[in-house]
Structure 1
Amino acid sequence: MIPVGGITCCLSAAALYLLGRSSGRDAEVLKSVTRVNQLKDLAQLLDAASKVLPYVVAVSGRVGSDTPINCEYSGLRGVIVEQTAEQHFLKHNDAGSWIQDSALMLSMCKEVPWYLDDGTSRVHVVGARGATGLVLTVGSEVFEESGRSLVRGTLDYLQGLKMLGVKRIERVLPTGTPLTVVGEAVKDDIGSIRIQRPHKGPFYVSDKTIDQLIANLGKWSRLYKYASMGFTVFGIYLLAKHAVQYIMERRRHWEMRKRVLAAAAKKAGQEEGGLNGNTESRSESANKDRMMPDLCVICLEQEYNSVFVPCGHMCCCMACSSHLTNCPLCRRRIDQVVKTFRH
């Protein structure tokens, strides 16, 4: 049998190790990123580093937009708004009980051009939805109960469903939110500066400072590596345990096979000696045969003590006979198993 548990633990350890290595690598990259204290200094840095592309920087400021979105339910003003609608219902399962479930009905997102402003200058942010660390605030969460009518209730019951209602969630990135953005800084022909995803490098949009991002990545890197070591040790233990059990099982079967072959050879020699001896020697040989264990042909551990009806063969113990439907010797169907007792 394949040791699924041990293999799964080792694969999980490898995946956690790769995650920890990736987090640690990102933390080291963030340490080397150029930090811009004031956005007005970014233009001068880009002019001085015009030959260094891409130029990855870390900037901070508050979210702003010339055309913000007015949220429908929460009344907030934001630059990114996500709306989802989930239908909640009870469904009838095979066990005959009702369980609660949900299905996504609607998912939409709106985004307008927006920027970071620290009071000294503005920097536009492009592609923030694909950045790491972006968390939208839950602006509103409304549950609208389904209308109840006799016809609708009957139809839902026949389909095995009971509609509960619709849950609408509105997530938003409000204006005025302080953010830290790590990405590639680009200056266009008209002097406007934007931060976007670099071709190679980190892209973060987070409400945490750059130092907090580095600390969190380092913490997760250590946790992933510790978890990887734990899964590795446990996986090796399971694999070693399975290997030892397999070796012991093969050894036990080999010893039982040697015992059966030795017993068969000894019995054949005694029968041959009995044919050439007198009645006394035959009686002595028969007594010795009765003293030798007659092993079950399936487990090779217990003595056979059951008779199959109607064929009459006796070659298995009661424990193994309980799992059989046909005689292992003649393949005839077993109608009854009778236990025998030796005196």
Structure 2
Amino acid sequence: MVPWGGVTCCLSAAALYLLGRSSGKDAEVLKSVTRVNQLKDLAHLLEAANKVLPFVVTISGRVSSDTPINCEYSGLRGVIVEETAEQHFLKHNDAGSWIQDSALMLSMCKEVPWYLDDGSARVYVVGARGAAGLVLTVGSEVFEESGRSLVRGTLDYLQGLKMLGVKRIERVLPTGTPLTVVGEAIKDDIGTVRIQRPLKGPFYVSHKTIDQLIANLGKWARWYKYASMGFAAFGFYLIAKQAFQYIMERRRHWEMKKRVLDAAAKRTTSDTEGPNDKAETGVNGTRKDGKMPDICVICLEQEYNSVFVPCGHMCCCVTCSSHLTSCPLCRSRIGQVVKTFRH
């Protein structure tokens, strides 16, 4: 039997190890990126490093835009706005009770061209929604209750639903937010400096500083490493435990088989040594005619005299049969034990 519990733990350990290795690798890469203290220096660095592609840097500044978005519900001004609307309701399940559930009705996102500004220059950020570490601020969260009309309520009840209302959430990246961006810096034909996702390398847009990002990735790498070691140890324990049980079970069967053969050889020897019943014996003292002694395979003392129903096997005495639930030969469940009588 395959120890699926142990195998699952070992596979989980391998997955955690890979995650920890990836986090540790990202932390080492972030340590090697070029740090730009002032945005006005980035243009000069690009000219000096024009032969190095991609040129991955980390910059910091405050979010700004020439055309910010005015949020409808929160009143904030932002450069990225996500709006979601969820319909909340009670539904009638098969058990006859009402449980709360929700369904997404609307999900939309708006983004305008924006840049980081530190007072010395500006650098445009492209594709920030696909970057790691970006967390939008919850600007507004409103719950609008559904109307209580009789007709609507009746129709919903017949369908097994009770409408509660609509929850609207507005998430925004406000202007003036301090951010740290790690990505590839480029300059277009008109001299505009942009930072975007590199073909190979990290791309982060985060409220944390570069040192905090490195420390956080290192912490997760260590956590994944320790978790991987724990899962691996537990998985090997489960596999070793199942293997030990299998070996002991096979050993028990082998010892029982040996006891039966020894008892058969002993009885055959005693029968052949009798004055009125002489027969030739073969290897291991068993009879050449192949007959086995009629003894119980459990106690090896009494003769077997019980038939198991429905499998029909007869290998135990009545005393031992009373303690069994399955046949020792075929492992099928015992429905009835029938005692036999010898003439």
TM-score exceeds 0.5: yes
Q: Which consecutive unaligned segments of at least 5 residues does structure 1 have?
A: 278-291
In structure 1, the residue matched to 2:96 is 96
Q: Percent identity?
A: 82
Please give the TM-score of this superposition, normalised by the length of structure 2: 0.82
Query: Is 2:240 the counterpart of 1:243?
Result: no
Cα distance change, pair 312–107 in 1 and its aligned pair in 2 (3 A) = closer
How far apart are the structure 1 equivalents of 2:54 and 2:28? 18
- Quick check: 1:161 aligned with 2:161? yes
Runs (4 or more) in structure 1 with deviation over 3 Å come to 261-275, 302-316, 318-321, 333-340
Pick which of 312-321 and 33-42 moved more: 312-321
Cα deviation for residue 161 of structure 1 reads 2.4
Aligned to 1:19: 19
- Per the TM alignment, residue 229 of structure 1 is displaced from its structure 2 partner at its CA by 1.0
Name the CA distance, whole Å, in 2 between partners of 1:310 and 1:105.
60
Taking a change above 3 Å as real, the CA distance of residues 143 and 313 of structure 1, as seen in their structure-2 partners, is same
Mean alpha-carbon deviation: is it higher for 55-64 or for 262-271?
262-271
Do 2:295 and 2:315's aligned partners in 1 also have CA atoms closer than 8 Å?
no
Tell me how far apart the structure 2 counterparts of residues 171 and 124 of structure 1 sit (CA, whole Å).
21
Stretches of structure 2 lacking an aligned partner (at least 5 in a row)? 278-293
Within a 5 Å distance, the mapping from 1:231-270 to structure 2 comes to: 231-267=231-267
The aligned amino acid for 1:146 is S
- Please state how far the C-alpha of 1:94 moved relative to its aligned partner: 2.8
Is residue 9 from structure 1 mapped to residue 9 from structure 2 by the alignment?
yes
Letter in 2 for 1:131: A
How many matched pairs?
A: 317
Amino acid of the structure 1 residue aligned with 2:40: K
How far apart in 1 are the matches of 2:94 and 2:275?
A: 69
Aligned to 1:294: 296
Partners of 1:261 and 1:247 in 2: CA distance: 21
Q: Which moved more, 1:126-135 or 1:78-87?
A: 78-87
Normalising by structure 1, report the TM-score.
Answer: 0.82
Question: How many Å apart are 1:270 and its aligned residue?
Answer: 5.5
What displacement does 1:66 show?
A: 1.0
> Structure 2 CA distance, aligned partners of 1:60 and 1:303?
90
Residues 183 and 204 of structure 1 are in contact (CA less than 8 Å); yes or no, is this contact kept in structure 2? yes
SS at 1:247's partner residue? Answer: helix
Aligned residue type for 1:258: K
Q: Structure 1 residues 89 and 268, CA, compared in 2 at 3 Å: closer, same or farther?
A: farther
Paired residue for 1:56?
Answer: 56
SS at match of 2:176: coil
Q: CA deviation at 1:253?
A: 1.3
Shift of 1:335: 7.6
Q: CA RMSD in A?
A: 3.1
